Copies of this chain bind each other. A is one copy, B any other.
Protein backbone atom coordinates (compact mmCIF):
# COMPACT_ATOMS: atom_id res chain seq x y z
CA UNK A 1 0.00 0.00 0.00
CA UNK A 2 1.44 3.35 -1.05
CA UNK A 3 1.65 5.70 1.93
CA UNK A 4 2.85 9.17 1.01
CA UNK A 5 3.57 11.55 3.83
CA UNK A 6 3.48 15.23 2.90
CA UNK A 7 6.90 16.72 2.27
CA UNK A 8 5.65 19.66 4.36
CA UNK A 9 5.44 17.44 7.48
CA UNK A 10 5.16 18.42 10.22
CA UNK A 11 2.77 20.96 8.73
CA UNK A 12 1.96 22.91 11.90
CA UNK A 13 4.20 23.02 14.95
CA UNK A 14 3.80 24.67 18.37
CA UNK A 15 6.08 27.55 17.33
CA UNK A 16 3.56 28.42 14.60
CA UNK A 17 0.84 29.15 17.15
CA UNK A 18 0.52 32.29 19.26
CA UNK A 19 -0.41 31.47 22.88
CA UNK A 20 -3.86 32.50 24.06
CA UNK A 21 -2.24 34.58 26.81
CA UNK A 22 1.34 35.73 27.57
CA UNK A 23 1.48 33.52 30.68
CA UNK A 24 1.03 30.36 28.62
CA UNK A 25 3.27 28.46 26.25
CA UNK A 26 1.98 26.34 23.39
CA UNK A 27 3.31 22.81 23.79
CA UNK A 28 1.20 21.08 21.16
CA UNK A 29 -0.90 21.74 18.09
CA UNK A 30 -2.40 18.46 16.97
CA UNK A 31 -5.43 16.24 16.27
CA UNK A 32 -7.10 18.48 13.69
CA UNK A 33 -10.66 18.13 12.47
CA UNK A 34 -11.02 19.09 8.83
CA UNK A 35 -13.78 20.33 6.54
CA UNK A 36 -14.28 22.04 3.21
CA UNK A 37 -15.94 25.44 3.55
CA UNK A 38 -16.60 27.55 0.47
CA UNK A 39 -13.42 26.87 -1.49
CA UNK A 40 -11.21 26.53 1.52
CA UNK A 41 -9.86 23.58 3.49
CA UNK A 42 -10.53 24.57 7.07
CA UNK A 43 -9.27 22.94 10.25
CA UNK A 44 -10.09 23.05 13.89
CA UNK A 45 -6.83 22.26 15.61
CA UNK A 46 -6.30 21.36 19.23
CA UNK A 47 -3.89 23.77 20.87
CA UNK A 48 -2.42 22.54 24.16
CA UNK A 49 -0.93 25.14 26.46
CA UNK A 50 0.64 25.14 29.86
CA UNK A 51 1.92 27.78 32.24
CA UNK A 52 5.64 28.45 32.06
CA UNK A 53 7.08 26.31 34.89
CA UNK A 54 10.23 26.60 36.98
CA UNK A 55 12.42 23.59 37.54
CA UNK A 56 11.07 21.15 40.12
CA UNK A 57 7.49 22.32 39.90
CA UNK A 58 4.45 21.36 37.86
CA UNK A 59 1.87 24.07 37.27
CA UNK A 60 -1.55 22.72 36.37
CA UNK A 61 -4.00 24.97 34.51
CA UNK A 62 -7.68 24.60 35.44
CA UNK A 63 -10.46 26.74 33.97
CA UNK A 64 -12.80 28.11 36.63
CA UNK A 65 -16.30 28.46 35.21
CA UNK A 66 -17.38 30.91 37.92
CA UNK A 67 -14.61 33.47 37.62
CA UNK A 68 -14.12 32.58 33.93
CA UNK A 69 -10.36 32.49 34.44
CA UNK A 70 -7.70 29.84 34.16
CA UNK A 71 -6.42 29.20 37.68
CA UNK A 72 -3.02 27.63 38.26
CA UNK A 73 -2.42 24.84 40.75
CA UNK A 74 1.18 24.21 41.77
CA UNK A 75 2.63 20.80 42.61
CA UNK A 76 6.21 20.01 43.55
CA UNK A 77 7.80 17.18 41.58
CA UNK A 78 9.73 16.15 44.72
CA UNK A 79 6.44 15.37 46.48
CA UNK A 80 6.27 11.56 46.60
CA UNK A 81 2.45 11.67 46.54
CA UNK A 82 2.52 13.27 43.08
CA UNK A 83 2.70 10.93 40.07
CA UNK A 84 3.78 12.48 36.77
CA UNK A 85 4.90 9.26 35.07
CA UNK A 86 2.41 9.96 32.24
CA UNK A 87 3.48 13.31 30.71
CA UNK A 88 -0.17 14.18 30.11
CA UNK A 89 -1.51 13.64 33.63
CA UNK A 90 -0.69 14.67 37.21
CA UNK A 91 -2.07 12.15 39.68
CA UNK A 92 -2.53 13.60 43.17
CA UNK A 93 -4.26 12.35 46.33
CA UNK A 94 -7.07 14.86 45.73
CA UNK A 95 -7.67 13.82 42.12
CA UNK A 96 -6.13 13.73 38.67
CA UNK A 97 -5.30 16.75 36.55
CA UNK A 98 -4.01 17.36 33.05
CA UNK A 99 -0.59 18.98 32.68
CA UNK A 100 -1.87 21.18 29.86
CA UNK A 101 -5.18 22.75 28.90
CA UNK A 102 -6.39 22.61 25.31
CA UNK A 103 -8.61 24.85 23.24
CA UNK A 104 -9.68 24.73 19.59
CA UNK A 105 -8.46 27.11 16.96
CA UNK A 106 -9.21 27.59 13.28
CA UNK A 107 -6.46 27.02 10.72
CA UNK A 108 -6.73 27.37 6.95
CA UNK A 109 -4.75 25.64 4.23
CA UNK A 110 -2.98 28.14 1.96
CA UNK A 111 -2.39 27.67 -1.77
CA UNK A 112 1.34 27.08 -1.16
CA UNK A 113 0.63 24.18 1.21
CA UNK A 114 1.31 26.18 4.36
CA UNK A 115 -1.29 26.83 7.06
CA UNK A 116 -2.60 30.09 8.44
CA UNK A 117 -3.49 29.59 12.11
CA UNK A 118 -5.90 32.09 13.66
CA UNK A 119 -4.37 34.27 16.34
CA UNK A 120 -7.42 33.88 18.57
CA UNK A 121 -9.07 30.67 19.82
CA UNK A 122 -12.32 29.58 18.18
CA UNK A 123 -13.57 27.62 21.20
CA UNK A 124 -12.08 28.08 24.66
CA UNK A 125 -13.08 26.15 27.81
CA UNK A 126 -16.30 27.79 28.94
CA UNK A 127 -18.31 25.45 31.20
CA UNK A 128 -17.60 23.45 34.34
CA UNK A 129 -17.35 20.35 32.12
CA UNK A 130 -14.45 21.94 30.23
CA UNK A 131 -12.31 22.86 33.26
CA UNK A 132 -9.37 20.73 32.08
CA UNK A 133 -9.79 21.67 28.44
CA UNK A 134 -11.48 20.76 25.18
CA UNK A 135 -9.87 18.37 22.75
CA UNK A 136 -9.93 16.38 19.51
CA UNK A 137 -12.59 17.97 17.30
CA UNK A 138 -14.32 16.08 14.49
CA UNK A 139 -16.25 18.13 11.94
CA UNK A 140 -19.25 16.74 10.05
CA UNK A 141 -21.12 18.79 7.44
CA UNK A 142 -24.86 18.04 7.47
CA UNK A 143 -26.95 20.35 5.31
CA UNK A 144 -25.21 23.70 5.62
CA UNK A 145 -24.25 23.27 9.26
CA UNK A 146 -20.88 22.00 10.46
CA UNK A 147 -21.29 19.84 13.56
CA UNK A 148 -18.21 19.79 15.77
CA UNK A 149 -17.90 17.02 18.34
CA UNK A 150 -15.15 17.37 20.91
CA UNK A 151 -14.01 15.94 24.22
CA UNK A 152 -14.52 18.06 27.32
CA UNK A 153 -12.47 17.11 30.37
CA UNK A 154 -13.04 18.08 33.99
CA UNK A 155 -13.29 16.57 37.44
CA UNK A 156 -16.78 15.45 36.33
CA UNK A 157 -15.15 13.05 33.87
CA UNK A 158 -14.56 12.99 30.12
CA UNK A 159 -17.65 13.84 28.08
CA UNK A 160 -18.45 14.33 24.40
CA UNK A 161 -19.88 17.74 23.59
CA UNK A 162 -21.35 19.23 20.43
CA UNK A 163 -20.97 22.68 18.88
CA UNK A 164 -22.17 23.98 15.54
CA UNK A 165 -20.99 26.58 13.08
CA UNK A 166 -21.88 27.71 9.59
CA UNK A 167 -18.82 29.86 8.88
CA UNK A 168 -16.01 28.87 11.26
CA UNK A 169 -16.29 32.31 12.81
CA UNK A 170 -19.27 31.94 15.12
CA UNK A 171 -19.77 28.74 17.07
CA UNK A 172 -22.74 27.70 19.15
CA UNK A 173 -22.49 25.11 21.93
CA UNK A 174 -25.18 22.43 21.91
CA UNK A 175 -24.47 20.66 25.20
CA UNK A 176 -23.15 17.28 26.21
CA UNK A 177 -24.25 14.48 23.92
CA UNK A 178 -22.46 11.56 25.66
CA UNK A 179 -22.02 11.32 29.45
CA UNK A 180 -18.77 10.31 31.23
CA UNK A 181 -16.62 8.68 30.11
CA UNK A 182 -16.81 9.16 26.39
CA UNK A 183 -14.63 10.56 23.61
CA UNK A 184 -13.74 9.98 19.95
CA UNK A 185 -17.22 10.83 18.68
CA UNK A 186 -17.61 10.94 14.89
CA UNK A 187 -21.00 11.82 13.38
CA UNK A 188 -21.94 10.20 10.09
CA UNK A 189 -22.57 12.88 7.45
CA UNK A 190 -25.89 11.50 6.24
CA UNK A 191 -28.84 9.42 7.32
CA UNK A 192 -28.74 5.63 7.20
CA UNK A 193 -32.16 4.01 7.28
CA UNK A 194 -33.72 7.28 8.37
CA UNK A 195 -31.46 7.82 11.39
CA UNK A 196 -28.33 9.75 12.17
CA UNK A 197 -25.51 7.70 13.63
CA UNK A 198 -22.45 8.47 15.71
CA UNK A 199 -19.45 6.33 16.50
CA UNK A 200 -18.38 6.86 20.09
CA UNK A 201 -15.93 5.46 22.62
CA UNK A 202 -17.19 4.88 26.16
CA UNK A 203 -14.91 3.61 28.91
CA UNK A 204 -15.88 1.09 31.52
CA UNK A 205 -14.36 0.90 34.97
CA UNK A 206 -14.91 -2.70 36.10
CA UNK A 207 -15.89 -4.63 32.96
CA UNK A 208 -15.22 -3.90 29.34
CA UNK A 209 -12.51 -2.00 27.51
CA UNK A 210 -12.21 1.30 25.59
CA UNK A 211 -13.84 0.21 22.34
CA UNK A 212 -16.01 1.55 19.52
CA UNK A 213 -19.79 1.83 19.98
CA UNK A 214 -22.51 3.38 17.85
CA UNK A 215 -25.63 5.33 18.77
CA UNK A 216 -28.58 6.63 16.76
CA UNK A 217 -30.45 9.91 16.80
CA UNK A 218 -33.11 11.87 15.00
CA UNK A 219 -31.94 15.33 15.98
CA UNK A 220 -28.16 14.91 16.59
CA UNK A 221 -28.69 16.11 20.18
CA UNK A 222 -30.28 13.11 21.89
CA UNK A 223 -28.75 9.67 21.33
CA UNK A 224 -29.86 6.13 22.08
CA UNK A 225 -29.98 2.49 21.01
CA UNK A 226 -26.30 2.09 21.81
CA UNK A 227 -24.56 -0.90 20.26
CA UNK A 228 -21.04 -2.24 20.50
CA UNK A 229 -19.40 -2.12 17.08
CA UNK A 230 -15.94 -3.59 17.51
CA UNK A 231 -13.39 -4.42 20.16
CA UNK A 232 -9.69 -4.52 20.75
CA UNK A 233 -7.70 -7.45 19.34
CA UNK A 234 -5.41 -9.12 21.86
CA UNK A 235 -1.87 -9.48 20.55
CA UNK A 236 -2.48 -7.02 17.73
CA UNK A 237 -1.50 -3.39 17.12
CA UNK A 238 -4.94 -2.38 18.43
CA UNK A 239 -4.93 -4.53 21.55
CA UNK A 240 -5.21 -1.82 24.20
CA UNK A 241 -7.83 0.67 23.09
CA UNK A 242 -9.56 1.78 19.92
CA UNK A 243 -11.70 4.71 18.89
CA UNK A 244 -13.13 6.40 15.82
CA UNK A 245 -10.73 8.88 14.25
CA UNK A 246 -11.88 10.57 11.03
CA UNK A 247 -15.52 11.27 10.16
CA UNK A 248 -16.69 8.22 8.18
CA UNK A 249 -17.24 8.66 4.46
CA UNK A 250 -19.32 6.62 2.08
CA UNK A 251 -17.80 4.37 -0.56
CA UNK A 252 -19.43 1.96 -2.99
CA UNK A 253 -18.66 -0.75 -0.46
CA UNK A 254 -19.90 0.83 2.75
CA UNK A 255 -18.85 3.51 5.21
CA UNK A 256 -15.09 3.77 5.50
CA UNK A 257 -13.89 4.74 8.94
CA UNK A 258 -10.25 5.56 9.69
CA UNK A 259 -9.87 4.58 13.34
CA UNK A 260 -7.04 4.64 15.85
CA UNK A 261 -5.78 1.81 17.94
CA UNK A 262 -3.17 1.63 20.65
CA UNK A 263 -1.36 -1.33 22.10
CA UNK A 264 -0.51 -1.88 25.76
CA UNK A 265 2.51 0.41 25.37
CA UNK A 266 0.37 3.35 24.16
CA UNK A 267 1.73 3.18 20.62
CA UNK A 268 -1.05 4.71 18.52
CA UNK A 269 -1.54 3.65 14.90
CA UNK A 270 -4.30 4.19 12.34
CA UNK A 271 -6.38 1.45 10.75
CA UNK A 272 -9.51 1.25 8.64
CA UNK A 273 -12.86 -0.42 9.06
CA UNK A 274 -15.67 -0.83 6.55
CA UNK A 275 -19.18 -0.52 7.99
CA UNK A 276 -22.45 -1.51 6.35
CA UNK A 277 -24.08 1.37 4.47
CA UNK A 278 -27.58 0.89 5.88
CA UNK A 279 -26.73 -0.83 9.14
CA UNK A 280 -23.48 0.88 10.12
CA UNK A 281 -23.11 -1.09 13.35
CA UNK A 282 -22.16 -4.08 11.19
CA UNK A 283 -18.44 -4.47 10.51
CA UNK A 284 -17.80 -5.73 6.98
CA UNK A 285 -13.99 -5.69 7.10
CA UNK A 286 -11.21 -4.42 9.33
CA UNK A 287 -7.52 -3.69 8.76
CA UNK A 288 -5.39 -6.66 9.76
CA UNK A 289 -2.40 -4.31 10.03
CA UNK A 290 -2.21 -0.53 10.49
CA UNK A 291 -2.47 1.77 7.49
CA UNK A 292 -0.21 4.27 9.28
CA UNK A 293 2.29 3.68 12.09
CA UNK A 294 4.53 6.18 13.92
CA UNK A 295 7.87 6.01 12.08
CA UNK A 296 9.14 9.49 11.32
CA UNK A 297 11.00 11.41 14.06
CA UNK A 298 8.05 13.81 14.51
CA UNK A 299 5.81 10.76 15.03
CA UNK A 300 8.05 8.86 17.41
CA UNK A 301 9.34 11.74 19.54
CA UNK A 302 7.53 14.63 21.17
CA UNK A 303 5.33 15.43 24.11
CA UNK A 304 3.78 11.95 23.96
CA UNK A 305 5.76 9.89 21.47
CA UNK A 306 4.85 7.02 19.17
CA UNK A 307 1.47 8.49 18.32
CA UNK A 308 -0.32 9.07 15.03
CA UNK A 309 -3.88 10.14 15.84
CA UNK A 310 -6.38 11.44 13.31
CA UNK A 311 -9.57 13.46 13.74
CA UNK A 312 -10.20 14.06 10.05
CA UNK A 313 -9.60 13.01 6.47
CA UNK A 314 -10.58 14.19 3.00
CA UNK A 315 -11.07 12.20 -0.17
CA UNK A 316 -9.02 13.99 -2.86
CA UNK A 317 -9.55 12.29 -6.20
CA UNK A 318 -8.61 8.66 -5.67
CA UNK A 319 -6.60 9.34 -2.51
CA UNK A 320 -7.55 9.62 1.10
CA UNK A 321 -5.72 12.54 2.64
CA UNK A 322 -5.45 11.92 6.35
CA UNK A 323 -4.56 14.76 8.71
CA UNK A 324 -3.20 13.65 12.02
CA UNK A 325 -1.57 14.66 15.25
CA UNK A 326 2.00 13.40 15.64
CA UNK A 327 3.27 12.66 19.16
CA UNK A 328 0.64 15.01 20.64
CA UNK A 329 2.90 17.78 19.37
CA UNK A 330 2.41 18.69 15.72
CA UNK A 331 0.16 18.22 12.72
CA UNK A 332 1.07 16.11 9.71
CA UNK A 333 -0.70 14.63 6.71
CA UNK A 334 -0.45 11.55 4.56
CA UNK A 335 -2.04 10.42 1.32
CA UNK A 336 -3.07 6.81 0.82
CA UNK A 337 -4.93 5.53 -2.26
CA UNK A 338 -8.49 4.61 -1.36
CA UNK A 339 -8.05 1.51 -3.51
CA UNK A 340 -5.10 0.47 -1.35
CA UNK A 341 -7.12 0.76 1.85
CA UNK A 342 -10.02 -1.13 0.31
CA UNK A 343 -7.73 -3.86 -1.00
CA UNK A 344 -6.20 -4.23 2.45
CA UNK A 345 -9.76 -4.70 3.69
CA UNK A 346 -10.23 -7.54 1.19
CA UNK A 347 -12.65 -5.60 -1.00
CA UNK A 348 -12.64 -6.58 -4.66
CA UNK A 349 -12.66 -3.17 -6.28
CA UNK A 350 -15.51 -2.45 -8.66
CA UNK A 351 -15.16 1.29 -8.85
CA UNK A 352 -13.75 3.77 -6.42
CA UNK A 353 -15.95 6.65 -5.31
Q: List residues of A whose CB falls within 8 A of some B CB.
A: 89, 95-96, 128-129, 132, 153-159, 175-182, 200, 202-208, 211, 213, 215-219, 221-228
Q: Are B155 and A224 touching (Cβ within 8 A)?
A: no
Residues of B within 8 Å of A178, CB to CB, are: 179, 226
Residues of B within 8 Å of A207, CB to CB, are: 95-96, 132, 153-158, 180
A254, chain B: closest CB distance, angstroms: 22
A225, chain B: closest CB distance, angstroms: 4
Q: Are B206 and A181 touching (Cβ within 8 A)?
A: yes
- Candidate in A156, A180, A203, A211 with the most chain B CB atoms within 10 angstroms: A180
- Given that A153-B207, A155-B207, A206-B158 are contacting pairs, would A176 and B227 also be in contact in the complex, using a CB cutoff of 8 Å? yes
- Given that A96-B207, A222-B217 are contacting pairs, would A180 and B156 also be in contact in the complex, using a CB cutoff of 8 Å? no
Residues of B within 8 Å of A203, CB to CB, are: 180-181, 204-205
Residues of B within 8 Å of A179, CB to CB, are: 178-179, 182, 200, 202, 213, 215, 226
Give the docked Cα–Cα distance between A211 and B153 (Å): 16
Residues of B within 8 Å of A153, CB to CB, are: 207
Residue of B nearest to A221 (CB): B224
Q: Are A180 and B157 touching (Cβ within 8 A)?
A: no
Give the docked Cα–Cα distance between A179 and B177 (Å): 11
Give the docked Cα–Cα distance between A205 and B205 (Å): 5
- Given that A175-B226, A207-B96, A224-B221 are contacting pairs, would A180 and B202 also be in contact in the complex, using a CB cutoff of 8 Å? yes
- Given that A157-B207, A181-B202 are contacting pairs, would A224 and B227 also be in contact in the complex, using a CB cutoff of 8 Å? no
Q: Are A204 and B181 touching (Cβ within 8 A)?
A: yes
- Given that A158-B204, A179-B202, A179-B215 are contacting pairs, would A225 and B226 also be in contact in the complex, using a CB cutoff of 8 Å? no
Residues of B within 8 Å of A200, CB to CB, are: 179
Residue of B nearest to A176 (CB): B226
Residues of B within 8 Å of A89, CB to CB, are: 206
A and B contact pairs by CB, cutoff 8 A, 7 listed: A128-B228, A154-B207, A156-B204, A176-B226, A179-B202, A179-B213, A215-B222
Q: Are A225 and B228 touching (Cβ within 8 A)?
A: no
